[in-house]
Chains A and B, each alone.
Chain A
Amino acid sequence: MTDSSEKNTIRVALPFHLRNLARIEGDALIDVAAPVTIRSVLDALEARYPMLRGTIREYETGKRRAFLRFFVCEEDWSLESVDKPLPEAVVSGKEIFLILGAIAGG
């Protein structure tokens, strides 16, 4: 059984503007307790960087903002359940959790 108190350090790759908002360079390193899911990663990301609240998920619905997509191990997880456990490669920090802004609009 997974120890829910166990923390995993997740590497989150943010778009340029969100890195600027959070004032970080490179990937955000976020400690997330199991189970590691899209929801728990974003909860932890926003708790650590509250200036990102509302920029990835809409405030009222909690849904992913329309012009952002989530990629995991080179697969598009944007339409996956936010409570689906992320792959071990992401949980271990070997792979990133990628938040990508659409290039639509130039």
Chain B
Amino acid sequence: MSSVRVLVGTRKGAFLLNSDGKRKNWTVNGPFFAGWEIYHMKGSPVDPNRIYVSQTSGWFGQLIQRSDDGGKTWHQPGLPNEAIPPPGPPTAVPNRFSYDTSAATGKPLTTHQWYDGTQHPWEFKRVWHIEPSLTEADTVYAGIEDAALFKSTDGGENWKELSGLRGHGTGPQWSPGAGGMGLHTIILDPTDPKRIYIAISAAGAFRTNDGGAKWKPINKGLRSQYIPDPSAEVGHCVHHVAMHPSRPNVLFMQKHWDVMRSDDAGDNWREVSGNLPTDFGFVIDVHAHEPETLYVVPIKSDSEHYPLEGKLRVYRSRTGGNEWEPLAKGLPEKDCYVNVLRDAMAVDTLDDCGIYFGTTGGQVYASADSGESWAPIVRDLPAVLSVEVQTMN
């Protein structure tokens, strides 16, 4: 019997929501890591029992947690929970993300642009996004703030920067968005293990074709009125990017204003906002079995981070953009002023694709019919930061 496990990261802990394939009755487990911000958690496609978590706090910094049993127990990779560690220097430092400035493989740390236009040193803050490898359970990528990409090949015990990204040349022009300069999107091409897409707020989107040594900005066609050169090579506030695994050259982007599409791996973008009531928002995702079916949650504006007219609606396009329809059945249609953050939407791979999203009001909504109707799984969690889903067949 199929089942789904929804991984919910919130401001005060992680929750696992489980259901069978009908997705009507749910069990709620958690909070795990109670009191900590869980920026993101994601399961390995290779081993559904392997789940990685970014656990962070302003007081105590960044931790990485891992489960090898589907969320029953957790540990920091390589660090024993109970045993007294052997003497000597540690072999695992799962919480350490050091910018690579080594002579052999590193790049100069340099600086990046700050809010006031001055140059600011690169400083590690937190892990925004974790992306497990599509082929190896022990390989995992982390997108961090201040923007950089890290990789572990030992299950998260040690991390090394793919410094070619930060060092490819445009770094000093990158600047933070309101929430910081985070590398929030990592997309692995299932047909080419060396191709990775990433996106940074507020630098833009980038691509590597060689596993992370060399990178190029892929922002041509993006237009951002709020930067000195609206068509600049970098500096665009990309909120999220989505890709269907069967079409690795086709990308969809929710930008700070505008929904965009590329059909050539990001080399060129065009706007597909179409008839959306507002093209501001954070999430974007693609139906598991229909590569031209997209989902966004329009948000009123960058000054008012809540749905239009107090009505929470998901919008769906079945044409790859431009033509959008509202999906509201089962969603609050009055007095709703929540937001849906960039990593807080996901889809399962069951035959009738399930869509899930979480709100800053603490609700997690699920649709078991491709968005035709919605129901809350939970209503009163802490503010939701991220949603991912694992499908177990």
Contacts and interface: CB of A to CB of B under 8 A. Distances in A.
B124 A60 contact: yes
B95 A53 contact: yes
B36 interface: yes
A87 interface: no
Given A50-B79, A50-B85, A60-B124, A15 B59 contact: yes
B61 A58 contact: yes
A71 interface: no
Interface in A50-96: 50-51, 53-56, 58-60, 65, 67-68
Contact of B59 (A47, A53, A68): A68
Contacts of A102: 59
Bin chain A's interface residue count.
20 to 34
Contact of A67 (B58, B82, B124): B58
Q: Is the interface of A mostly helix, strand, loop or mixed?
A: loop
B309 to A, nearest CB: 31
A58 B96 CA distance: 9
Given A17-B36, A50-B90, A55 B61 contact: yes
Contacts of A17: 35-36, 57, 59-60
Contacts of A68: 59-60
B62 A54 contact: yes
Contacts of A65: 59-61
B60 A18 contact: yes
Nearest to B97: A59
Interface in B42-84: 57-63, 76, 79-82, 84
Interface in A9-54: 15-18, 21, 23, 47-48, 50-51, 53-54
B265 interface: no
B121 to A, nearest CB: 11
12 contacts: A16-B35, A17-B59, A50-B79, A53-B90, A54-B63, A54-B93, A55-B61, A56-B60, A58-B61, A60-B124, A65-B59, A101-B59
